[in-house]
Amino acid sequence: MPHPAMSPNNVAVITGGASGIGLAAATHFAAIGMKVCIADIGTERLAEAGARLASVAKGGAADIMTASVDVSRFDEIAGLEAAVQKRFGGTDILMNNAGIGPDSNSFGPLENWQRILAVNLWGVIHGTQAFAAHMVERGRPGLIINTGSKQGITTPPGNPAYNVSKAGVKAQTEALQHELRNIPGCRITAHLMIPGHVFTALTARGRTEKPPGAWTAEQTVDFMIARIDAGDFYILCPDNDVPRQLDERRMLWAAGDIVENRPALSRWHPDYAEAFARFVKES
């Protein structure tokens, strides 16, 4: 059965909603008759996305709201929540999805670390702080969906600031769901979205055609909705290259670094290459 929050005339708010997974989710919600607010940066991008959503929304432009919001600023997120209440009466689905991924390493650039954490982690915290209590108070079924990453679980080398931000999103979302389920009468649930390789503006890196191994944003959203309907908290998305079974082995190996006292990130350590390959084949 579809989750009751995903019903006509209910309200979805999506940060990072002008492109990629956010826009795909907004398009789905608009097409099933929901009222949708997308928050993002870039006036032109927002206008284009808003027009696209209005073309599929049951109520046209009247059911679509766009807002220029920097999620790293709590005052802007709080203003967004108030504006949605004024326009649509409240929020049934909050998707904290805004994310960026400039390059980083442990030695810098400092500004990249600061911006990644401000958007990817603090944006999720700000969204939760501004929206969650009001969503609970309404007494209606609702969803808070936070976009994490497999990189926040296996923490591969290459962009530690991004990994740290998404590891924080995982921890925050787990804590949020624990707290929500311990509020008497609460009908809001939190969910951690863990995309696979998805072809979006963030991951394209100059490419104009989708790589064969990647999923589209629409495929990813379809999977997300199916798993929410099934009651999953961890929405672990496969893609055309990596099935769930391989993700599971990679995640188990990463946890095993601690349990077995292996070197940090041993999956990428030459001394452990054969052992990791054997471990994957054991699945």
| pLDDT mean across residues, the chain | 96
In sequence order, what are the beta bridge partners of 108?
105
Task: Identify the pLDDT of residue 210.
Answer: 83
Same domain, 217 and 260: no
Task: Identify the pLDDT of residue 142.
Answer: 98
Task: Identify the pLDDT of residue 39.
Answer: 98
The residues that are catalytic are 162
Q: Are strands 188-194 and 142-147 parallel, antiparallel or unpaired?
A: parallel
Task: Identify the pLDDT of residue 244.
Answer: 97
> Is pLDDT above 70 for 154?
yes
Q: How far is CA 52 from the centre of its chain?
A: 21
Question: Can you give the CATH number for the domain in which 157 is found?
Answer: 3.40.50.720
Q: Categorize the per-residue pLDDT at 207 as very low, low, confident or very high, splitting at 50, 70 and 90.
A: confident
Same domain, 101 and 67: yes
Task: Identify the pLDDT of residue 241.
Answer: 96
Q: What is the pLDDT of residues 251-266, one digit of tens each?
A: 999 999 999 999 999 9
What is the C-alpha separation between 172 and 166, in angstroms, rounded? 10
Task: Identify the pLDDT of residue 200.
Answer: 82
Which whole number is the average pLDDT over 163-187?
Answer: 98
> Is pLDDT above 90 for 203?
no
Q: Give the domain range for residue 255.
A: 243-283
What is the C-alpha separation between 164 and 140, in angstroms, rounded? 33
Q: Categorize the per-residue pLDDT at 202 as very low, low, confident or very high, splitting at 50, 70 and 90.
A: low
Residues 6 and 29 sit within 8 Å (Cβ to Cβ): yes
Same domain, 158 and 192: yes
Q: What does 55-122 look like in DSSP terms, one character per residue?
A: HHSTTGGGGEEEEE--TT-HHHHHHHHHHHHHHHSS-SEEEE--------BTTB-HHHHHHHIIIIIH
Give SS3 for 46: helix
Per the structure, the count of domains in the chain is 2
Bigger pLDDT: 277 or 206?
Answer: 277
What is the C-alpha separation between 140 and 42, in angstroms, rounded? 33
Same domain, 141 and 270: no
Structure tokens at 194: 């863990």
> Is pLDDT above 90 for 127?
yes
Task: Identify the pLDDT of residue 211.
Answer: 87
Same domain, 18 and 43: yes
Which whole number is the average pLDDT over 207-225?
Answer: 92
Other Cβ atoms less than 10 A from the Cβ of 135: the count is 26
Which whole number is the average pLDDT over 193-203?
Answer: 87
Which whole number is the average pLDDT over 188-197?
Answer: 97
Same domain, 224 and 269: no
Structure tokens at 108: 């810098």
Same domain, 129 and 183: yes
Q: Categorize the per-residue pLDDT at 136 as very low, low, confident or very high, splitting at 50, 70 and 90.
A: very high
Other Cβ atoms less than 10 A from the Cβ of 1: the count is 5
Q: How much of the chain, in percent, has pLDDT values that exceed 70?
A: 98
Same domain, 162 and 189: yes
- Cis link prior to 157 (omega < 30° from 0)? no
Q: What is the pLDDT of residues 55-96, one digit of tens each?
A: 999 999 999 999 999 999 999 999 999 999 999 999 999 999
